[in-house]
Amino acid sequence: MSKESRIDEQIQHFYDNVPNVGDALPLKEYLLKHEDSRMAWYLLGKEYEGKGDTAKATYCFAQAGEIYEAFESKPAPQLPEAKPKKKSGWKKWTLALLLPLLLIGGAAIAVNELMPDREDPAAEVPPEGSASATPSASASASPKPTPSSKPAPLPSNVIPPDQIAGAPGPNGPGEGVLGGLLTQKPSRQPRLLIAAPQLGKWNDWVKSGKPVATVASDRETGTAGVQWFDPKWCDCKPADANSNEVKLAARLVESWKPMQEEKLALRSAMVRYKEMTGSWPSSPGAMAADYPSNVMSGWSENMTPWFDELKAALEDKTDGKIPRTVGWPERNGPDTGHGTPSGTLSPLANQPLEIIVDKSNHRLAIVSGDVILRNYAVGLGGSKTPEGEFVITEKVKDPNGGKGAYGSRGMTLSDGRYGIHGTDEPNSIGKDESLGCVRMKKEDIEELYDLVPMGTPVTIAKGGLPSELRAPQQRFKLPSTQNETNPRKVYDWLG
């Protein structure tokens, strides 16, 4: 059967199952050009839906299949059984859409047609429970992780994104971020754009997360489409704030963010371990060990498959080249953790954690590149607090029994007498009353202690950090898996 004959049958099937087809569109010409484009069917369905032609929209959405499911977060309608052919001929239509084009806020924009026609690596992701998703034999001596709080799984029909991109707004850098999502190689997975406001020169991690749009692409035709959630970004009517699509996107981001912090803590620890020892860690137990080898301060259940994935990549001698640094774990773990940070949040997947102390503002920040993850108030010692570059060379829980001037956590800077620790004088936070050390509130020092590994660089200077504090309501905490106390030593940091 010729292609045109197949099209004639498909058109007849459309007329048999869709009533009141009194409008005029050159449907046959459209199908001859785009019969395999699920994105084209989806956009045609949205055009009918906007006109109130529910039956026609439903038929088109059924043809769109997984593209409809990616945008609408629900199963695509099922096509009805074909009815006997009618003798009457089909009517000619006029096409109101320009396809394959990308509709953005009512404007049609051509999509790059030079995208590589390759299989999407995401299609080869091994399922959870496969060999690559289980702990390696080398982890047999590893700490037993305490199960971390598991987010509610995504509905079975929802495909997790392969990227979650941050953008500060619809203009400037935001335009570039959206353009990047639209022109990248098509993927079977959608991509999510979220708001990531700026805090001075920094990209604000704590305040990021409001869903802006979902971008889905069609690998068969190289087309892409946008479903908007934020009216500030488009000259259009976006999805209602109370719609299932918006609620699902917000729920996904809420679960995704804490897991990215776990990934970042793990990746940073592996990088710092390599810097300190000259080799990559062989098992989780090599990093989450007892004092004084406690590079990490615990281990979560999610981290084991991520570690195995990263370790396998580091050992892969593809083309005779071993990776020089750690990548970003994306193939394993809960679906709600999938989605590599990109856009203005891309440093998270590339830059390990560092600490900055601002003597002018009495602030201590945890940063990854130009992304600021936390910004705490601290107590300092004025001119007694040294400026310069330091490294965390020791981490200890409950120094001097945890009941003295240093509180429940302490970290030594460059093997000296200066440290970052808790305090029994909380009123000194924000003031210059120490003898040179960095004092922190209990909840802040305990979160910092769990997030940053041994070997983390610390920069102390005047200026550079915003005055606005940043810490989430739900603090980062690693399940404790080892003994990090050191009762044999009396600590005498400079208070």
CATH of the domain at 388: 2.40.440.10
pLDDT at 11: 62
Asked if residues 46 and 101 have their Cβ atoms less than 8 Å apart, the reply is: no
Q: What is the model's pLDDT at position 93?
A: 25
Q: Is residue 480 part of a domain?
A: no
Neighbours of 235 (CB within 10 A): 10
What is the percent of the chain with per-residue pLDDT over 90, rounded to a whole number?
52
Q: Is residue 93 part of a domain?
A: yes
Mean pLDDT of 185-214: 94
In a domain, 415, yes or no: yes
Residue ending a domain, among 52, 85, 100, is 100
Whether 322 has a pLDDT exceeding 80, the answer reads no
163 domain residue, yes or no: no
Domain that holds residue 82: 3-100
Domain boundary (61, 76, 100) is at: 100
Looking at the structure of the chain, the number of domains it has is 2
Interaxial angle between packed helices 3-17 and 54-64, expressed in degrees from 0 to 180 and rounded to the nearest 10: 140
> Average pLDDT in the 341-370 region?
97
Lowest mean pLDDT among 18-27, 197-206, 373-382: 18-27
Residue 274: pLDDT above 80? Answer: yes
Rounded to the nearest angstrom, the gap between the alpha carbon of residue 123 and the centroid of all alpha carbons in its chain is 19
pLDDT of residue 220: 72
pLDDT above 50 (res 488):
yes
> Mean pLDDT over residues 403-425, rounded?
95
The answer to which of 216-230, 248-262, 311-325 has the lowest mean pLDDT is 311-325
At 56 the pLDDT is 77
229 within domain boundaries: no
234, 338, 362, 437: the active-site residue: 437
Q: Is residue 47 part of a domain?
A: yes
pLDDT band at 282 (very low <50, low <70, confident <90, very high): very high
- With a cut of 70, say whether residue 167 has pLDDT above it: yes
Among the listed ranges 45-59, 62-76, 106-120, 318-332, which one has the minimum average pLDDT value?
106-120
Name the band, by pLDDT with cuts 50, 70 and 90, for residue 144: low
Q: Which amino acid makes up residue 354?
A: E
> Is residue 292 situated within a structural domain?
no
Q: Is 236 a catalytic residue?
A: no
Tokens of 346: 């891309």
Please give the residue that has the higher pLDDT: either 231 or 148.
231
Q: What order of strands is seen across the sheet that includes strand 191-195?
A: 223-228, 211-218, 191-195, 163-167, 340-343
What is the per-residue pLDDT for 280? 93
Entry pTM: 0.74
392 - beta bridge partners? 413
Determine the average pLDDT of the residues in 144-168.
75
Which of the two residues, 366 and 324, has the higher pLDDT score?
366
Annotated active-site residue 437? The verdict is: yes
- Last residue in a domain, options 70, 100, 130: 100
Considering the chain, what is the average pLDDT of its residues? 80
Of 34, 338, 362, 421, catalytic? 421
What pLDDT band is residue 4 in, cutting at 50, 70 and 90?
low
Q: Is residue 77 assigned to a domain?
A: yes
